[in-house]
Structure 1
Amino acid sequence: MRHRDTRGLRAVVACVAVACTTLLVACGGGAGNEATQVAAVQPPSLHDDIETCASCHETIHAAWQTSRHAQSWKSETFRVASDNYRKEECLPCHAPDMIQKTGVANEPLVRDGYRSDGVTCIVCHQDALSEEWKMHGPYAADSPAHETVQDDSYSTAAVCASCHGHDAEFNQYHSWKEGMYGQQDFPCQACHMPQMEALLADTEVDKPLRWVGDHSFPGSHDEEYLKTAATVKLKVEDGALVVAVQNQAGHFFPGGAFRTAVVDISVDGVEVGRLEYSFENENQLESGETVTLRHELMDGASEATARLTYYKYVVNEPGTGLVQSDVGTVIDESSLTL
């Protein structure tokens, strides 16, 4: 496989919160008549789609298994946050039915069964309103297993909005749309589904390679991506230390509830300031936003340091609530000799 260089993207867009709800791949190969016959006999179900899809899309399936989509229902954090699954407003995106039922960008219905499967291939790709069990994706490809529909929305942020564009605590879509990357139509997939040149289906080695999105959906759980989320810089201006924190993500930072970003400021080893950014504090940074803090320096001060640390919430020891983790990830750090 040949990977497309995404270093420039990683430098400007963060990966936070739960990853965007889109699976950017159609299925390839085979004659049209055969596709119709097979699809009519073996329509995939909501449950067996994981293994059924994996039989042809092994590489994509392996990536998906490592994703937060695969853990959307089984996550202990979700279990506790949803009050043991009793908060109904949480269920449509943690156990969604096919997004094509309500339409791309609309909140999905709740799936009746097999909720522990999470956000699967069928959820994002299958057209449940079609008797032919068509699969939607960015490519028009023939398949011996099912019909395919080229759907341009799978290359846009609209498909992510199905789950990331409604609840206020996790509405990354709205934040993205109003921000600098949304204005440039720079979609979620550019960072959360970096592309590689690969086969759409591993079984069809005679087919051409295509640009296929990474179905592991890297995000805030990926430390290297997280470190691109924001920066902290120091300078001296008119006798004062100026600390500047800039959100470099494509949406607000931190990227949802149960996350906190903390800036610790020290002068000569003594803490002189501390800032906390979170949804709960109602002070998340919008995409591209910079906030500054001034601290008057004492005579003789020699060195200043600012550290930006990202903390997730974890399940407490009794397993009944969420608490901020004692261990965070240092996103950025800056030192200045005064």
Structure 2
Amino acid sequence: MNQTRLDLYTDYLTVTFGYATATGLSQLLDGEISHDAISRFLSGDEYTSKDLWKQVKKTVREVESADGILIIDDTVQEKPYMDENDLICWHYDHCKGRNIKGINLLNCLYHSNGASIPVAFELIRKPFRFCDINTRQEKRCSDVTKNEQMRSMIDTCIQNQLTFSWVLSDIWFASAENMEHIKEKRQKDFIMALKSNRLVALSEVDSKAKRYTRLDQLVWTEQKAIKGWLKGLTFPVKLARQVFTNKDGSSGILYLVCSRLAAEWDEITTTYQKRWKVEVFHKSLKSNAAFAKSPAHTAKTQANHLFASIVAVFKMECLTISKHLNHFALRSKLYAKAIRGAFDELQVLRAA
């Protein structure tokens, strides 16, 4: 890895407010590094989750704790005008409820002692093409599912001796297989959101007799967790229901499953609130690190640009820790300085 090039490029992604190009970085450096050298950096060896761990390991060791949390989530960045390839293709966006053309990032964020650090990632690729029998249209698919990649990332974090107790995820990763893997194979605890139609038995006898009830048909006591047996799981869990009010005044219901039987409603809901850290990370990735602002067309150069964006947000998190300013406040500070510099230069030009 060319660390010097990576540091320059990630800093450039942090300060640029437009498209991130090799020419733009070269001009910023007054030609000290040619745009060809930057292009070669982006088209060189592809950087992976292993390379990310090398970047963040030192900082992680400084903030990690026994009650650390792994947060798993994915995000889709729309790229409607780019040529389709294995990386830029059609993915289902849960937020929009439809397929969109773009890049799908699966991310693993580590949260401990107030810091949120990316420790693993996967870019979803779909190299295989097939013809849909119903629509007779060509489609793409991956050779590995996101759930398999999720489990692999958790295994990698354990192999890296990362200290954590909880794994948090939304409903899209709340499969029985994932729960079994985390609790039974890896001896970690999880809290996951569940769909309202998931089936549960309130006793082991009912579970063995396959007498299950939908979550939304149970009689719930407010702010109290209950013990239950989810269909498909071999061990009991704690279940919680949280009623909340949306910004528009409407109410919503969140169903949560927790593998730690000693956990009560307050601990389950309070811990799960920390899952929002990954949404903040994704927002910063797209707003503060030029995640979608690369004109690179090949899968490799796009992937390396995205890797650099993740590292750029990590470096901003390091500044957040030391300067006590969030990512958006830091960017606002940089923007104010840039505007001031441009204003002063304009006065100089007028006076000349």
Give the TM-score of the pair, scaled to structure 2.
0.23
**Higher RCO (CA < 8 A, seq sep 6+):** 1
Give the TM-score of the pair, scaled to structure 1.
0.24
Question: Could you say which structure has the higher helix fraction?
Answer: 2
